[in-house]
Amino acid sequence: MRGKDPMPLSPGPFTGRTVTGLAQDLREGRTSSTELVKQALDAIAELDPQLNAFVTVDADGALAAARRADDELAGGVDRGPLHGVPVGVKDLIEVAGLPATMGSRHFADHLPDADAECVTRLRRAGAVIVGKTTTHEFAYGPTGDRSATGPSRNPWDPARMTGGSSGGSAAAVAAGMVPLALGTDTGGSVRIPAALCGIAGFKPAYGAIPADGVFPLSRTLDHVGVLAGDERDCLLAYRCLTSAQLREDTAPARVAWLDPAGLFAGDSRVASTVRAVSGVEEEVRLPAGVAETLRETYAVIQSCETAAVHATRLAEAHGLFDPEVLERLRVAAELPGWRYVQAMDERPRLAEAVSTLFDGHDVIALPAVPLTAPLLQQRETELNGEPVAVRAALLALTSPWNVLGLPALTVPAGTVDDLPVGLQLVCRPGRELLLFEAATARRS
Amino acid sequence: MRGKDPMPLSPGPFTGRTVTGLAQDLREGRTSSTELVKQALDAIAELDPQLNAFVTVDADGALAAARRADDELAGGVDRGPLHGVPVGVKDLIEVAGLPATMGSRHFADHLPDADAECVTRLRRAGAVIVGKTTTHEFAYGPTGDRSATGPSRNPWDPARMTGGSSGGSAAAVAAGMVPLALGTDTGGSVRIPAALCGIAGFKPAYGAIPADGVFPLSRTLDHVGVLAGDERDCLLAYRCLTSAQLREDTAPARVAWLDPAGLFAGDSRVASTVRAVSGVEEEVRLPAGVAETLRETYAVIQSCETAAVHATRLAEAHGLFDPEVLERLRVAAELPGWRYVQAMDERPRLAEAVSTLFDGHDVIALPAVPLTAPLLQQRETELNGEPVAVRAALLALTSPWNVLGLPALTVPAGTVDDLPVGLQLVCRPGRELLLFEAATARRS
């Protein structure tokens, strides 16, 4: 099916291949983990100078792990669908023995000695970590273009941003360097780059994948997520990473369209393209005022928690931050505490208001991002003849679901101006399989 | 036993009488609830013009409730030890049909139509509410001398503060106008006035008495508590107000003295008097730095949450606040959110540090307040030749236990300069009976 979709500029060895397909090839002897890892390493060597998706490539470690995976499979030990599959891990997530820079000069020399819990689970499932992927500094930015090691670049047009903060993970998968990558998502950091790079990205329910060993941006909003070519690979990876029980439903998913204009005045061509791909007819609307409160609540919680994480660095070593990140942190550090208290108190009310969307539907559909990938470092754009702040636009349709901890998936939904756009599907915790079913149904 | 203690200036009808004694008198026909309520009303009429303990007196309602209590007892319905006993309720706690001013001009016309949950429980236990007691405005102050209806005054010397914020409840009990009163305690608001007025006050574990229907000061730190002549009456009232199971221990309480100088450089005569009364020999110490962190954590959480409660009033009607309360709110509203986030994160670490105090002991003993009652409106005093801020001094020994939600009791512990001082006993949740046992053991 993915062959029908338009392609990024330079397809890599995993473009158009699914993890399920790779798993089959591995088990039927058509390939080996060692071969897949070599393909990944070759593709990184070839493509990454242009895309900067990787901060660290662990060729030796990955080849050794691949040999072990091959040996295990040959010996009858089968760890499941990720066994032997090369993956990338966002550089905000700790992998024992590999530098974790967090995209920052503050952590230039940081070498973790333990795996994050999600990495432990990934390894237990047999996945082979080929390297660490570029993150916006400390994951503090949806543009993906401020990192100590330079911006990640969009495989569809390297002059454009990947989106972020998991920009390297998105670029690595979108360019076919790896079939799967881990990311984190505090306000959209998995879904935004997935959408802008034309791949799938899944942010599960809050806490469904443990965040231990992941550098915090905002504990109340941080989620670990996955990026892959399509939603089926996301689901497959998610099953390996969560201990949550997935509820099987027999009835088909009831999907409703949420007009994105109620959240943000985005590019109407994006909305219409995504809606056409979604094939959804019914519509739901947010109650009046809820969109503003969601945005405000997100911004306040995120800002105060992020400023708390970085308070000591701000006081003692501010010169090591990227200037834009520093400026944003300084603004965040000024927000008064009473607003944080009010924002935290707001959440149950918001959850109640948003729950009305799900009264008659299992899944809500809307674009993941209300515009296509801006140029690198672009901070203002024009939509419908009005100037628009790029960061606000990027976050507008994804961050509400972080405030409420709702599972949200983005899948490719065609292009506008030859750049990819994403269809976002949102559900309540426990309805994830309906979410994935809805994503797959759109193809038929 | 209490006859041995020095007395306030004008003893009232309940001075030296216990709720247990009243309950016996009621059941053996020596008095009636109607008679007790009349005694309370007469005492209020006589003593309250000097002490200002009551904001609202509900003579009709109380007499009607007393008659019902008498009828019930006569008819064989016995609601337990509080049945027919007159009580005062802090004016921060809602009682249906009685004004609840919160000590503020903002709520001058506020008439709740429902009882707070603690009031419901009090009524269910048969207690008769005679009136609402003076609170520092919005409970925001440990001095008890800033209220829309004027300061409550200390029965031992009406030129001195009761302490607060439950100053009216303390004065009402200390002057013998009622044998029991409800208060609230966010940083010491039950224990401080109880200690300064020479009575007992109990702040239970966080949440042990529900705070529904109580105007918030700081939700994370707010506790509902009780004030009475001695610890046995506090326990008796507490049993009626909580649904927590009290664990019976057979071994005697192991009590250790916590040197208050580790928390605050208070009046050494207070410390030595209280310690002598406590009879405690073993000593424990807080780990280094913990006292400062407890103080800071308390101040930040309390300030930010209080500023959140009053944000709209601050923006729209600041002129209705008492000037000192307004000034403190303005300062509180400036505290940055990242400090609140860090303070909330600090709590588990603090709990762990403080838990070491209980490694070999069930109960920690220290003064409730490190000085005797200052003069009304006094904001600076001198201790050991050094100037000391009165508010900080009043809160210093009580607020740490609010941060951790630990049960804490103060009982009368003699006098310094003819003014009462209190012995504070602190335990872990679940060890309340040992706490009360330790208080009673000190008398033998």
Which pLDDT belongs to residue A3? Answer: 38
Cβ <8 Å between B308 and A337: yes
Considering only the beta carbons, identify the residue of B308, B332, B337 that sits closest to A307.
B337
C-alpha dihedral, A154 to A159 to A164 to A165, nearest 10°: 100
Nearest alpha-carbon partner for B151 in B386, B378, B437, B390: B378
* Mean pLDDT, rounded, for B403-422: 97
pLDDT in tens, B83-104: 999 999 999 999 999 999 999 9
Structure tokens at B249: 């221990």
List CB contacts of A60: < 8 A, sequence separation 6 or more: none
Distance from CA of B428 to the nearest CA of A (A): 27
Which pLDDT belongs to residue A1? Answer: 33
Catalytic residues of A, by residue number, are 90, 165, 189
What is the average pLDDT value for chain A, to the nearest integer? 96
Cβ <8 Å between A305 and B335: no
- Percent of the residues in chain A that have a pLDDT greater than 70, as a whole number: 98
Which pLDDT belongs to residue B1? Answer: 33
pLDDT band per the 50, 70, 90 thresholds, residue A251? confident
A312 CB near a chain B CB, below 8 Å? no
Cβ <8 Å between B337 and A311: no
B152 is catalytic: no
The DSSP line for B197-242 is HTSEEEE-STTSS--TTB--S-TTT-EEEEEESSHHHHHHHHHHH-
Which pLDDT belongs to residue B9? Answer: 75
Enumerate the residues of chain B whose CB falls inside 8 A of the CB of residue A333.
336, 338
Distance from CA of A328 to the nearest CA of B (A): 14
Cβ <8 Å between A311 and B338: yes
d(CA A291, CA A64): 50
Res. B6: pLDDT tops 70: no
pLDDT in tens, A186-244: 999 999 999 999 999 999 999 999 999 999 999 999 999 999 999 999 999 999 999 99
Burial class (CB in 10 A: 0-12, 13-18, 19+), A88: buried
A335 CB near a chain B CB, below 8 Å? yes
Set B104, B165, B278, B399: catalytic member? B165
Nearest alpha-carbon partner for B335 in A336, A305, A333: A336
Cβ <8 Å between A337 and B311: no
Set B152, B166, B189, B399: catalytic member? B189
Question: Which candidate in B140, B298, B340 is best for mutational testing of the A interface (most A CBs within 10 A)?
Answer: B340
Distance from CA of B211 to the nearest CA of A (A): 16
- Percent of the residues in chain B that have a pLDDT greater than 90, as a whole number: 94
The DSSP line for B29-54 is TS--HHHHHHHHHHHHHHHHHHH--E
Distance from CA of B300 to the nearest CA of A (A): 9
Res. A4: pLDDT tops 70: no
Print burial letters for B400-435: b (CB count within 10 Å at least 16), e (below 16): bbbbbbbbbbbbbbbbbeebbbbbbbbbbbebbbbb
Structure tokens at A118: 């999600």
- What is the 3-state composition of chain A as percent helix, strand, coil, each rounded to the nearest 5? 40, 20, 40
If one counts every other C-beta atom within 10 angstroms of the C-beta of residue A42, the result is 13
Enumerate the residues of chain B whose CB falls inside 8 A of the CB of residue A342.
308, 311
d(CA A225, CA A191): 9
pLDDT in tens, A259-315: 999 999 999 999 999 999 999 999 999 999 999 999 999 999 999 999 999 999 999
A329 CB near a chain B CB, below 8 Å? no
pLDDT in tens, A68-103: 999 999 999 999 999 999 999 999 999 999 999 999
Rounded to 5 degrees, φ, ψ at B132 are -105, 135
If one counts every other C-beta atom within 10 angstroms of the C-beta of residue A389, the result is 12
Question: CA-CA distances (angstroms) from residue B252 to A92, B249, B435, B437?
Answer: 53, 8, 10, 8
User: What secondary structure letter does DSSP report for A164?
Assistant: S
Beta strands in B75-161 (DSSP E): 86-90, 128-133, 153-154, 157-161
Considering only the beta carbons, identify the residue of B334, B341, B345 that sits closest to A336.
B334
A338 CB near a chain B CB, below 8 Å? yes
Which pLDDT belongs to residue A5? Answer: 53
Considering only the beta carbons, identify the residue of A308, A335, A342 that sits closest to B342.
A308
A45 CB near a chain B CB, below 8 Å? no
Alpha-carbon radius of gyration of chain A: 20
d(CA B368, CA B421): 8
Cβ <8 Å between A304 and B337: yes
Res. B193: pLDDT tops 70: yes
* Mean pLDDT, rounded, for A46-70: 98
Burial class (CB in 10 A: 0-12, 13-18, 19+), B360: exposed
Res. B288: pLDDT tops 80: yes
Structure tokens at B53: 């303990």
If one counts every other C-beta atom within 10 angstroms of the C-beta of residue A229, the result is 26
Enumerate the residues of chain A whose CB falls inside 8 A of the CB of residue B333.
336, 338
d(CA A423, CA A279): 11
- The residues that bridge with B375 in the sheet, in sequence order, are B160
Structure tokens at A282: 């019914």
Cβ <8 Å between B336 and A338: no
Distance from CA of A402 to the nearest CA of B (A): 18
Q: What is the ipTM of this complex?
A: 0.94
The DSSP line for A5-43 is S---SS--TTTT--HHHHHHHHHTTS--HHHHHHHHHHH
**Residue B306: closest CA among chain A residues belongs to which residue?**
A338
Query: Which comes out higher in pLDDT, residue A366 or B443?
Result: A366
Beta strands in B83-123 (DSSP E): 86-90
Considering only the beta carbons, identify the residue of A303, A311, A337 that sits closest to B307.
A337
User: What secondary structure letter does DSSP report for A214?
Assistant: B
Contact (Cβ atoms closer than 8 angstroms) between residue A200 and residue A230:
yes
Enumerate the residues of chain B whose CB falls inside 8 A of the CB of residue A307.
336-338, 341
Enumerate the residues of chain A whose CB falls inside 8 A of the CB of residue B340.
304, 337, 340-341
Domains recognised in chain B with CATH numbers: 2-241 (3.90.1300.10), 255-441 (3.90.1300.10)
The DSSP line for B161-209 is E--SSSHHHHHHHHTTS-SEEEEEESSSTTHHHHHHHTSEEEE-STTSS
d(CA B52, CA B299): 29
Res. B5: pLDDT tops 90: no
Burial class (CB in 10 A: 0-12, 13-18, 19+), A63: middle
User: What secondary structure letter does DSSP report for B420?
Assistant: E
Cβ <8 Å between B338 and A308: yes
Res. B7: pLDDT tops 50: yes
Enumerate the residues of chain B whose CB falls inside 8 A of the CB of residue A303.
337
With residue A370 as reference, give the H or E element that holds it. none
Distance from CA of B433 to the nearest CA of A (A): 35
pLDDT band per the 50, 70, 90 thresholds, residue B390? very high
Provide the number of CB pairs (under 8 Å) joining chain A to chain B: 69
User: Maximum Cα–Cα distance for chain A, whole Å?
Assistant: 63
Cβ <8 Å between A308 and B337: yes
Which pLDDT belongs to residue B27? Answer: 96
Contact (Cβ atoms closer than 8 angstroms) between residue A55 and residue A175:
no
Enumerate the residues of chain A whose CB falls inside 8 A of the CB of residue B300.
337
Q: Which amino acid is at B349?
A: R
Distance from CA of A332 to the nearest CA of B (A): 8
User: What secondary structure letter does DSSP report for B336?
Assistant: B
Which pLDDT belongs to residue B114? Answer: 98
Contact (Cβ atoms closer than 8 angstroms) between residue A128 and residue A27:
no
- Percent of the residues in chain B that have a pLDDT greater than 70, as a whole number: 98
Res. B218: pLDDT tops 60: yes
With residue A146 as reference, give the H or E element that holds it. none
Which pLDDT belongs to residue A249? Answer: 78
**Residue B345: closest CA among chain A residues belongs to which residue?**
A308
User: What secondary structure letter does DSSP report for A418?
Assistant: T
- What is the 3-state composition of chain B as percent helix, strand, coil, each rounded to the nearest 5? 40, 20, 40
**Residue B338: closest CA among chain A residues belongs to which residue?**
A308
Cβ <8 Å between A341 and B300: no
